[in-house]
Amino acid sequence: MGKPKQVSKLSDEEIKDEVRAAYARVAMTRRGSCCDKASSCSSDSLASRLGYDVDHLPASVTESFAGCGNPTALAELREGEVVMDLGSGAGLDAFLAAEKVGKTGRVIGIDMTSEMLQKARDNAVKLGVTNVEFRQGDIEALPVEDESVDVIISNCVINLAPDKSKVFREAFRVLRPGGRLLVSDMVLRGELPEEIRESIRSYTGCVAGAVPESEYLEMLREAGFEEVEVLERSGSGAVVSSKIKAVKPAA
Ligand SMILES: C[S@@+](CC[C@H](N)C(=O)[O-])C[C@H]1O[C@@H](n2cnc3c(N)ncnc32)[C@H](O)[C@@H]1O
């Protein structure tokens, strides 16, 4: 077995390759990687624990769920809205958002991992939904037009991006004036031991990439967002799940 890779010795692109490899495995082995922290966790029971109503969805949607909150429930989505899900995984939040925005609205899921995208697209066919589209892309460089989205949601993904400021600047760019962002994400409320910060397994498991909550909120403000607030927090210890809202000022 080779020496474990140290996060600080990897380039941003090498970190993304590790993240892709980890979530390709999640797509194929049906177990949420962010769940690795809780050994008895299965992804569909995780979704139920987080308050999702998933009984009407097939196992292929819930089995690779790897979220840390329920941003769709907090987003107060309305008929006709255009929603974008950053790091859409197997599609759970995207499909629930699609139900809320109805036929006059639409949802764009963005993910960089081919195996996850394939799973999400297969799920869309299985569910017969036509108002959801899954695009391959990096959330640090969104394949989406300026000012074309009403609401951005994201569930346990931005912690995995090496350049979070870029993600927030891109989110700001694609939102319409007055648009809102609702994310659940892992953030720090304490210090992580060095061996955890340097562990790539801990990074892909949504721990080592987490930044202090105050820094996360500041990066949102620097990108131009207003009304930046923490709506809820869950968990205890150094790394917790925060539900964060931010608004792009109206023109
Ligand atoms: C922890 S999983 C969460 C997936 C989904 N949101 C859920 O709740 O089940 C992280 C997902 O984000 C994707 N991802 C991570 N970094 C990304 C990036 N820079 N650009 C696009 N997708 C990314 C991964 O491929 C994976 O599908």
Q: Is the CB of 160 under 6 A from ligand 1?
A: yes
Taking the centre of ligand 1 as the mean of its atom positions, its distance from the CA of residue 226, in whole angstroms, is 25
Average pLDDT, the chain: 92
Amino acid identity of 22?
A: A
Does residue 1 lie within any of the structural domains? Answer: no
- At residue 2, the pLDDT reads 67
> Which residue's CA is the closest to the ligand 1 atom numbered 8?
67
Does residue 83 lie within any of the structural domains? Answer: yes
Ligand 1, residue 113: give the atom nearest the CA: 25
Does residue 176 lie within any of the structural domains? Answer: yes
- At residue 39, the pLDDT reads 39
Q: Could you tell me whether strands 106-111 and 149-155 are parallel, antiparallel, or unpaired per DSSP bridges?
A: unpaired
Q: Is the CB of 199 under 6 A from ligand 1?
A: no
Does residue 74 lie within any of the structural domains? Answer: yes
Does residue 177 lie within any of the structural domains? Answer: yes
The CATH number of the domain where 34 resides is what?
A: 3.40.50.150
Asked if 185 and 168 touch (Cβ cutoff 8 Å), the reply is: no
**Residue 11 CB-density burial (10 A; 0-12 exposed, 13-18 middle, 19+ buried):** exposed
- Tell me how far apart the alpha carbons of residues 42 and 38 are, in angstroms, rounded to a whole number: 9
* Interval 56-81 mean pLDDT: 90
Taking the centre of ligand 1 as the mean of its atom positions, its distance from the CA of residue 19, in whole angstroms, is 8
Find how far residue 32's CA is from the centre of its chain.
12
The total domain count for the chain is 1
Does residue 53 lie within any of the structural domains? Answer: yes
pLDDT, tens digit, for every residue of 115-163? 999 999 999 999 999 999 999 999 999 999 999 999 999 999 999 999 9
pTM of the model: 0.94
Does residue 2 lie within any of the structural domains? Answer: no
The pLDDT confidence band at residue 106, using thresholds 50, 70 and 90, is: very high
Q: Is the CB of 138 under 6 A from ligand 1?
A: yes
Structural domain of 226: 7-247
Does residue 99 lie within any of the structural domains? Answer: yes
